[in-house]
C-alpha cells in the first residue's frame, strides 16, 4: 500500500487554504504534514484543530515553509503572488513538488516560475476546477469554428474581497481566444468602454469585470454573430471544486519529473 501523500498548505487559514485543509483531512490517501501563515499572523503556533476546527489536526501553524518540522512531498499554495514566489524559490531549492493556484502574477513572475520549474515539478494554473478547465477546451474549440463574423466578450463575477481583476481565469480565456484567432491578447483585449467609443472593432476581445457580495466565481464567454449568439457559462457554487482540483494535481505530480504543468495536463485535455 502506498504511503499517504504528505502535503504542506501555504496560507492555511485563508479562504482557499481552509477548503484545501478540510479536503486533505478527509482524503484517505493524503495527509497534512504542515501548514503556514504569514509571519506575524496571530495563528502562528496554533493548531489547525484550534483555528479551523479540524479534529485530530494537531500540527502547529508555522510562519514559513522552512519552519515546518515534518517532511512533505507537495506544497499547495493559493495565496498572493509575492507569497507564491517564495514558495517557488523554496520548492526549487529543496526539489519539492508544488501546486500553485494563485492568480495575479505579472508576466515577469510567470517567466520566472517557468524557468524555476526546470528544477522541480510544478502545476501552476489560474483555476483548478475540472469544469473550468473543460470550459477552456470548449472555448478553444468554439473559437476555431467561429472564426469569421463573430465577436467575443468575457464577463467574470467574483466576491467583493478578490484582489486582482480581471480574474486569472478570465485572462486565460482571453488568451485562449487570442491564440485561436491569431491575435495578440495584450494588444486586442479591451477592459473598459466609456463615452463615445466608436464601433466595436472586429479584432477586440472584451474583458468585463464585476465584484459583488460573496460570489465564489462565475465566467461567461459570449460569441456574438449576426442574428445569433452562443454563450458558455461556468458557475462555481463552492470553493471545494478548486480544492478538489488541487488535490488531484498533487496526486498527479507524485509521479512527474521537473517541469511546469497546468490542469490541462493533469486532466488529459491537451
Q: What are 161-213's pLDDT values in tens digits?
A: 999 999 999 999 999 999 999 999 999 999 999 999 999 999 999 999 999 99
How far is the C-alpha of 11 from the C-alpha of 52, rounded, in Å? 12
The segment(s) of the chain belonging to CATH 3.30.360.10 are 130-236
- Helix spans in 5-129 (H): 15-26, 48-52, 81-94, 107-116
**Other CB atoms within 10 A of residue 72 CB:** 20
* CB of 147 closer than 8 Å to CB of 263: no
Active-site residue, selected from the candidate residues 4, 112, 137, 162: 162
- Considering all CA atoms of the chain, what is the largest pairwise distance in Å, rounded to the nearest integer? 66
Active-site position among 158, 194, 219, 234 = 158
Whether domain 5-124+239-266 has CATH 3.30.70.20: the reply is no
**Is 234 a catalytic site residue?**
no
Instruction: Give pLDDT, residue 58.
Output: 83
Q: Which residues contact 192 (CB under 8 A, 6 or more apart)?
A: none
Cα angle for residues 40, 45, 48 (degrees, 5° grid): 110
Quickly name the fold that domain 130-236 has.
Dihydrodipicolinate Reductase; domain 2 (3.30.360)
**pLDDT (0 to 100) of residue 1:** 58
Q: What percent of the chain has pLDDT over 90?
A: 94
Whether the model clears a pTM of 0.85, i.e. scores above it, the answer is: yes
Contact by Cβ (8 Å): 80, 102: yes
Q: How far apart are CA 63 and CA 42, in angstroms?
A: 10
- Mind listing the pLDDT tens digit for each residue in 32-67? 999 999 998 999 999 999 999 988 888 889 999 999
CATH 3.40.50.720 maps onto the chain at: 5-124+239-266
* Known active-site residue 162: yes
| Cβ atoms of residues 155 and 131 within 8 Å | no
Amino acid at each position: 500500500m502506498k504511503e499517504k501523500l504528505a502535503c504542506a498548505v501555504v496560507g492555511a487559514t485563508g479562504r482557499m487554504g481552509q477548503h484545501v485543509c478540510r479536503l486533505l483531512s478527509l482524503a484517505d490517501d493524503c495527509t497534512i504534514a504542515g501548514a503556514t501563515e504569514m509571519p506575524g499572523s496571530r495563528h502562528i503556533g496554533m493548531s489547525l484543530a484550534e483555528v479551523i476546527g479540524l479534529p485530530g489536526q494537531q500540527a502547529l501553524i508555522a510562519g514559513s515553509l522552512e519552519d515546518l518540522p515534518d517532511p512533505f512531498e507537495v506544497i499547495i499554495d493559493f495565496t498572493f503572488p509575492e507569497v507564491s514566489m517564495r514558495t517557488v524559490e523554496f520548492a526549487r531549492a529543496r526539489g519539492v513538488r508544488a501546486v500553485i493556484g494563485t492568480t495575479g502574477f505579472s508576466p515577469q513572475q510567470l517567466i520566472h516560475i517557468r524557468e524555476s520549474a526546470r528544477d522541480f515539478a510544478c502545476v501552476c494554473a489560474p483555476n483548478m476546477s475540472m469544469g473550468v478547465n473543460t470550459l477552456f477546451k470548449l472555448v478553444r474549440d468554439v473559437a476555431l469554428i467561429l472564426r469569421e463574423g463573430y465577436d467575443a466578450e468575457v464577463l467574470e463575477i467574483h466576491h467583493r474581497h478578490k484582489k486582482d481583476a480581471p480574474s486569472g481565469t478570465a485572462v486565460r480565456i482571453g488568451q485562449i481566444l487570442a491564440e485561436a484567432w491569431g491575435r495578440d491578447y495584450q494588444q486586442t483585449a479591451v477592459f473598459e468602454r466609456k463615452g463615445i467609443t466608436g464601433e466595436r472593432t472586429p479584432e477586440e476581445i472584451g474583458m468585463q469585470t464585476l465584484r459583488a457580495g460573496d460570489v465564489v466565481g462565475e465566467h461567461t464567454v459570449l460569441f456574438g454573430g449576426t442574428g445569433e449568439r452562443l454563450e458558455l457559462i461556468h458557475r462555481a457554487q463552492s470553493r471545494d471544486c478548486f480544492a478538489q482540483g488541487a488535490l488531484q494535481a498533487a496526486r498527479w505530480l507524485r509521479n512527474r519529473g521537473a517541469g511546469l504543468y497546468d490542469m490541462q495536463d493533469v486532466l488529459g485535455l491537451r
